[in-house]
């Protein structure tokens, strides 16, 4: 299955962040306490550090979990908090990404266990692998995009870490050893030894981090590259990764520099890219200033590459990925403000409608959401669903994001419009504004209560529920507001309503659906289901072989067994079947693939019975939705 890291590495250089520990210490964290525990005790400091690196231009940030394995946490009396510390770390990194809006990857950082394996130590390899797996599974449950196993000094421990990662997941693994100034690891291995031992273990990238500064580390990584070439590197060969310290002695122009400046790291980034390194970042001593300097250097090389399209053969320019920027939308793509919406026309014409959900960002920057919408448009998605502060957590206005997607990406949206936060007057005012800017597909929802979210003491409004909202929309389509006052002319909203076929009280769910359809709903979107029998059982209770209006069946691709259990036990409105949970348990490390296959099987089973699909990819992994949809080609 395609992963964003693989795509970005194929396109050019991925810029990682710098040192978390350096910044946390600068923020007042004492050296004799666990930096990983700051995820719980000082989450605002950790989150601010992530945001600083993202704002400096990082394409990838690492979780604050370098020492968050059971063995290392034992020294601080925190072993029993291993799961909590790792999951919270992922959440902090993901939220920082959402707040900044930068379409960066979140990597789960996995450091050494502080145990020495044979032949030099007595640590049991199986126990070490188990400790790695415990941490890695927690990171996966949190929703990391990849794993970085770093600062490992001997190959035996690295092999156990990679083995644990491969047992737990098929996510990309970056493996970085630490080397001394003599170019060997603590265990005495050369760069060539590292390549020979790790190349066949399924790592996406391998290289070096920490240890020394750029001047000594870059030749070490270059030696790995030469060894890969000697072994006949093909398209599946690992990319090279290099993340040196800033605080080790370095010779520059005959002078000894003990602290590498940001400018020096900018030069390092350029040289590393030209040497073929595809994952570049910093380790101890590096700061957002260093990352910003590297970003500027890599962008400059990218500009040179564009300018060198007609460069004479024989000269070179480094291939560096350029930051995604919103493109201007051609006038011909503009969605008309009048007449039936495209979704209405497609459903009326018998088109099998494909819609995918995107959550608005938690901050000011919508770049990642827009990038996701572009990817989905490229694979042929008909509409983007935009949720309205799901789980009652503060996010950017769904209406604003709908507008941006329609006018910058050129794909129609379905806004999830809730009555939770709006009075009867306020919701009608906002609906009129939505209509004016072309956002006219409305999923009428009541909304999650504030008690579920970050503001449990916030007051909900609920002047009307979802049935009442459908009635309001129908009145607007008739040319008047709920009080009977004219709005000048009829609106042209396409009205969707939601149902949950997994509810225990299906009779009540069927009653509410009848009320929504009588009030004027044009089509139905379901909560996610995981078995075709669930939908058919609801139809039996409803008393019809199929509904009289189009149905978009909700499908949520599962990521892992832990993900399945979390959704089933902790997320309102999502209920898995026992069979689905069993399949995910049996899938083990192939959880993502099994989740996609389950989604595809369900889609094929129900396609003859419904008029569309509504996909809900978790963790913003829109490439998973694209993979599910391949079955329709």
Is 210 annotated to bind ligand?
A: yes
DSSP 139-201: HHHHT-SEEEEEEE-SHHHHHHHHHHHHHH--S-EEEEE-B-TTS-BTT---HHHHHHHHGGG
CA 399 to chain centre: 22
Compute, in degrees rounded to 10, the torsion defined by CA atoms 405, 411, 412, 418. -40
Q: Let me know: does 55 contact 288? Beta carbons within 8 Å.
A: yes
Tell me how far apart the terminal alpha carbons of the chain are, to the nearest angstrom: 16
Is 344 annotated to bind ligand?
A: no
417: its two tokens: 């419009």
373: its two tokens: 């919408």
Look at phi and psi of residue 423 and say left if phi exceeds 0, alpha if psi is from -120 to 50, else beta: beta
Is 283 annotated to bind ligand?
A: yes
Distance CA 401, CA 398 (A): 5
Distance CA 514, CA 627 (A): 35
484: its two tokens: 């009977």
Cβ-in-10-Å burial (0-12, 13-18, 19+) of 261 comes to middle
Give the list of residues 6+ apart from residue 459 with CB closer than 8 angstroms, or none.
450
φ and ψ at residue 416, rounded to 5 degrees: -80, 110
Give the list of residues 6+ apart from residue 579 with CB closer than 8 angstroms, or none.
530, 531
Q: Establish whether the linkage from the previous residue to 113 is cis, with ω within 30° of 0.
A: no
312: its two tokens: 């004479």
Distance CA 493, CA 495 (A): 6
Q: What is the DSSP letter of 16?
A: B
Q: Which of 141, 143, 138, 77 is nearest to 110 (CA)?
A: 138
Known binding-site residue numbers for Zn(2+) = 210, 283-284
Known binding-site residue numbers = 210, 283-284
């Amino acid at each position: 299955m395609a992963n964003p890291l693989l795509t970005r590495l194929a396109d050019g250089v991925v810029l990682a962040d710098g040192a978390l520990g350096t910044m946390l210490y600068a923020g007042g964290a004492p050296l004799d306490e666990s930096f990983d525990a700051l995820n719980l005790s000082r989450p605002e400091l950790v989150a601010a550090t992530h945001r600083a690196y993202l704002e400096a231009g990082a394409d990838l940030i690492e979780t604050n979990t370098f020492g968050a394995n059971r063995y290392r946490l034992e020294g601080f009396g925190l072993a029993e908090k291993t799961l909590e510390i790792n999951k919270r770390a992922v959440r902090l990194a993901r939220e920082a990404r959402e707040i900044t809006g930068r379409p960066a990857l979140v990597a789960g950082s996995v450091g050494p266990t502080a145990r020495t394996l044979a032949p030099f130590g007595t640590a049991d390899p199986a126990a070490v692998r188990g400790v790695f797996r415990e941490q890695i599974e927690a990171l996966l449950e949190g929703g990391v995009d990849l794993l970085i196993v770093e600062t490992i000094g001997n190959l035996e421990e690295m092999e156990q870490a990679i083995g644990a990662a491969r047992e737990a997941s098929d996510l990309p693994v970056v493996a970085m050893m630490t080397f001394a100034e003599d170019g060997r690891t603590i265990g005495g291995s050369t760069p060539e030894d590292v390549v020979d031992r790790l190349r066949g273990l399924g790592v996406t990238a391998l290289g070096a981090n920490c240890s020394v500064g750029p001047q000594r580390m870059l030749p070490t990584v270059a030696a790995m590259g030469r060894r890969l070439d000697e072994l006949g590197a093909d398209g599946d060969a690992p990319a090279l990764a290099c993340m040196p310290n800033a605080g080790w002695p370095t010779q520059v122009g005959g002078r000894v520099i003990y602290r590498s400046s940001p400018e020096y790291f900018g030069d390092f980034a350029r040289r590393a890219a030209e040497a073929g390194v595809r994952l570049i970042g910093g380790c101890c001593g590096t700061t957002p200033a260093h990352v910003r300097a590297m970003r500027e250097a890599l962008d400059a090389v990218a500009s040179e590459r564009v300018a060198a399209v007609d460069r004479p053969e024989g000269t070179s320019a480094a291939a560096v990925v350029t930051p995604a920027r919103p493109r201007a939308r051609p006038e011909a793509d503009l969605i008309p403000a009048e007449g039936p919406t495209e979704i209405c026309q497609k459903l009326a014409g018998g088109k099998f409608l494909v819609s995918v959900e995107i959550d608005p960002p938690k901050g000011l920057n919508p770049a990642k959401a827009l990038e996701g919408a572009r990817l989905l448009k490229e694979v042929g998605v008909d509409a983007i669903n935009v949720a309205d502060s799901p789980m009652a957590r503060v996010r950017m206005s769904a209406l604003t994001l709908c507008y941006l997607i329609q006018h910058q990406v050129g794909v129609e949206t379905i806004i999830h419009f809730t009555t939770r936060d709006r009075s009867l007057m306020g919701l009608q005012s906002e609906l009129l504004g939505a209509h004016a800017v072309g956002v006219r597909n409305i999923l009428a929802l009541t909304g999650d209560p504030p008690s579920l979210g970050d503001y449990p003491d916030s007051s909900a409004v609920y002047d009307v529920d979802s049935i009442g909202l459908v009635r309001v929309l129908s009145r607007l389509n008739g040319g008047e507001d709920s009080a009977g006052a004219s709005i000048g002319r009829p609106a042209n909203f396409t009205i969707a309503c939601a149902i949950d076929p997994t509810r225990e009280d299906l009779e009540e769910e069927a009653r509410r659906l009848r009320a929504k359809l009588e009030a004027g709903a044009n089509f139905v979107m379901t909560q996610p289901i995981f078995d075709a029998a669930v939908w058919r059982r609801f139809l039996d209770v409803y008393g019809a072989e199929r509904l009289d209006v189009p149905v978009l069946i909700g499908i949520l691709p599962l990521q892992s067994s832990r993900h399945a259990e979390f959704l089933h036990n902790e997320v309102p409105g999502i209920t898995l079947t026992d069979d689905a949970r069993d399949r995910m348990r049996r899938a083990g490390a192939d959880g993502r693939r099994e989740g996609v296959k389950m989604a595809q099987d369900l889609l094929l089973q129900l396609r003859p019975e419904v008029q569309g699909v509504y996909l809900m990819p978790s963790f913003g992994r829109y490439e998973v939705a694209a993979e599910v949809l391949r079955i329709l080609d």
